[in-house]
């Protein structure tokens, strides 16, 4: 048996009752934190909270799946994932492999930034297009595919949730906005400039969660505190969404 358990967004208190039961019954508990991380506690604290040893896997070990599958063939195995476990396509692939080999699988869902972001900002979730991941530029390599996906959403009037890189460290919203402006210089489609409306979500699910909306030229200089950060580029706004950004995200348009 292989059970995928979502940890939610902040700490062990976010684990569902069903998730805790699966962990208690598990023979082996794996975890991966390269797709996302809990912002409220580290691995040692999580181990103490669930009273189980956690074997943290590398990206390669999860994508390969061999170690997990070998254990799950004869034991009850749990894979802990921050947020909701099936948001990442890697986990879907792993589940398919397990099922093909006759290993039963279960999913224990939890809160995800995918659902939290619209709720925190007061934006209508069905008006979001493709979610985009923004990586750190590398030496001699500056990918701009994220810009193309964001532009496609925007051209259709859809909002875009922009997830920020967490490897080798969490990217700040300020860095992300600068990267988007740098992409604009390369692409030149007029999507991003200092007067572009954007929203910042900092530490979704945490007690000190912060949301702000305003012009890039203003927000890029603000301090949003510790990670994790995400961005949302609004598309065509309904009047109720406009009001939500003003009242809930303290939209400044000075």
Which of 87, 108, 129 corresponds to the end of one domain? 108
Instruction: Judge whether 171 lies within some domain.
Output: yes
Instruction: Judge whether 138 lies within some domain.
Output: yes
Q: What is the pLDDT of residue 148?
A: 98
Place of tokens 């999507």: 191
- CATH number of the domain bearing residue 179: 3.30.950.10
- CATH number of the domain bearing residue 14: 3.40.1010.10
Is the domain of 104 the same as that of 117? no
Place of tokens 């358990």: 5
pLDDT tens, N- to C-terminus, the chain (254 residues) = 999 999 999 999 999 999 999 999 999 999 999 999 999 999 999 999 999 999 999 999 999 999 999 999 999 999 999 999 999 899 999 999 999 999 999 999 999 999 999 999 999 999 999 999 999 999 889 999 999 999 999 999 999 999 999 999 999 999 999 999 999 999 999 999 999 999 999 999 999 999 999 999 999 999 999 999 999 999 999 999 999 999 999 987 65
Is the domain of 87 the same as that of 171? no
- H-type alpha helices, the chain: 17-25, 43-50, 59-64, 66-72, 89-100, 113-121, 145-155, 173-187, 216-219, 239-248
Total structural domains within the chain: 2
Instruction: Judge whether 8 lies within some domain.
Output: yes
Q: What is the pLDDT of residue 139?
A: 87
Instruction: Judge whether 253 lies within some domain.
Output: no
Instruction: Judge whether 43 lies within some domain.
Output: yes
First to last CA, the chain: 56
Look up the domain containing 127 and give its range. Answer: 113-248
Is the domain of 244 the same as that of 119? yes
Which of 108, 131, 156 corresponds to the end of one domain? 108
Is the domain of 142 the same as that of 55? no
């Amino acid at each position: 048996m292989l059970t995928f358990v979502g940890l939610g967004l902040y700490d062990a208190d976010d684990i569902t009752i069903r998730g805790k039961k699966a962990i208690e019954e598990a023979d082996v508990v794996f975890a991966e934190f390269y797709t996302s991380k809990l912002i409220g506690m580290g691995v040692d604290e999580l181990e103490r909270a669930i009273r189980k040893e956690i074997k943290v896997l590398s990206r390669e070990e999860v994508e390969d799946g061999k170690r997990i599958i070998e254990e799950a063939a004869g034991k009850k195995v749990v894979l802990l994932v921050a947020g909701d476990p099936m948001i990442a396509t890697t986990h879907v692939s792993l589940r398919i492999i397990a099922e093909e080999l006759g290993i039963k699988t279960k999913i224990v869902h939890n809160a995800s930034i995918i659902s939290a972001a619209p709720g925190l900002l007061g934006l209508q979730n069905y008006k979001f297009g493709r979610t985009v991941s923004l990586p750190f530029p590398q030496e001699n390599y500056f990918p701009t595919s994220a810009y193309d996906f964001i532009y496609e959403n925007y051209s259709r009037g859809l909002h875009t949730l922009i997830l920020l890189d967490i490897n080798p460290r969490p990217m700040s919203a300020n860095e992300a906005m600068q990267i988007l402006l740098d992409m604009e210089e390369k692409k030149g489609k007029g999507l991003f400039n200092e007067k572009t409306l954007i929203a910042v979500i900092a530490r979704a699910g945490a007690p000190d969660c912060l949301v702000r909306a305003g012009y890039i030229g203003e927000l890029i200089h603000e301090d949003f505190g510790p990670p994790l950060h995400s961005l949302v580029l609004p598309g065509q706004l309904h009047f109720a969404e406009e009001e939500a950004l003003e009242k809930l995200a303290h939209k400044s348009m000075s």
